[in-house]
């Protein structure tokens, strides 16, 4: 199962980073380029343990839907969302937060499996892992910018 791990250092407090990371409205704004929108389940505000959201977005030229559910939650340190249905065979996205001197280290661990056996594994190597890394990095850069703006205004 491929794993993507991204570490982002943010000059903002832990709670701000944690809450932005689980904010449905913020997520939509951070991935606006893919026209991502929440269409079912929790469609606005802060998602909590046991809640789910169905996203619709355009990736690789196709409109796709993906439903994920929050399966673990320890505010403000950790939460996990896992795919319930969608284009992947499976995925588990761990969001880990730690704080030192009012700065936050945010770690994303994205474990995923592609469908279609050997063809899915080839797609992982050729483009999917890179595509997902870029998508998560874009989102994290947006989160860093917004969290630091909030922190500067406090």
Q: What is the pLDDT of residues 5-60, one digit of tens each?
A: 999 999 999 999 999 999 999 999 998 888 899 999 999 999 999 999 999 988 77
Phi, psi (rounded to 5 degrees) for 139: -60, -45
Instruction: Compute the Cα dihedral for 98, 110, 139, 69 and give only its sign.
Output: negative
pLDDT at 119 over 80: no
Query: What radius of gyration, in Å, describes the C-alpha atoms of the chain?
Result: 15
pLDDT at residue 113, as a whole number: 86
Tell me the three state secondary structure of residue 127: helix
Range of the domain at 75: 3-152
What total of structural domains would you count in the chain? 1
Gap between the Cα atoms of 66 and 84, Å rounded: 8
Q: Residue 122 CA to chain centroid, in angstroms?
A: 24
Q: What is the pLDDT of residues 60-115, one digit of tens each?
A: 778 989 999 999 999 999 999 999 998 888 999 999 999 988 899 999 999 988 87
> What's the predicted TM-score (pTM) here?
0.91
Gap between the Cα atoms of 101 and 37, Å rounded: 35
Q: What is the DSSP letter of 23?
A: B
CATH number at residue 21: 3.30.530.20
pLDDT at 129 over 80: yes
pLDDT at residue 111, as a whole number: 94
Gap between the Cα atoms of 14 and 29, Å rounded: 21
């Amino acid at each position: 199962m491929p794993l993507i791990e991204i570490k982002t250092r943010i000059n903002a407090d832990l709670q701000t980073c944690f809450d932005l990371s689980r904010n449905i409205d913020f997520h939509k704004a951070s991935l606006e380029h893919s026209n991502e929108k929440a269409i079912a389940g929790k469609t606005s505000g802060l998602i909590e343990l046991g809640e789910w959201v169905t996203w619709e977005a355009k990736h690789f030229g196709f409109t796709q839907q993906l439903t994920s559910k929050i399966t673990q939650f320890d505010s403000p340190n950790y939460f996990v969302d896992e795919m319930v249905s969608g284009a992947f065979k499976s995925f588990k996205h761990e969001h880990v937060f730690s704080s030192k001197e009012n700065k936050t280290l945010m770690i994303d661990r994205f474990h995923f499996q592609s469908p279609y056996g050997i063809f899915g594994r080839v797609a992982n190597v050729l483009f999917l892992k890179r595509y997902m890394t870029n998508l998560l990095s874009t989102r994290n850069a947006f989160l860093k910018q917004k969290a630091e703006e909030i922190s500067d205004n406090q």
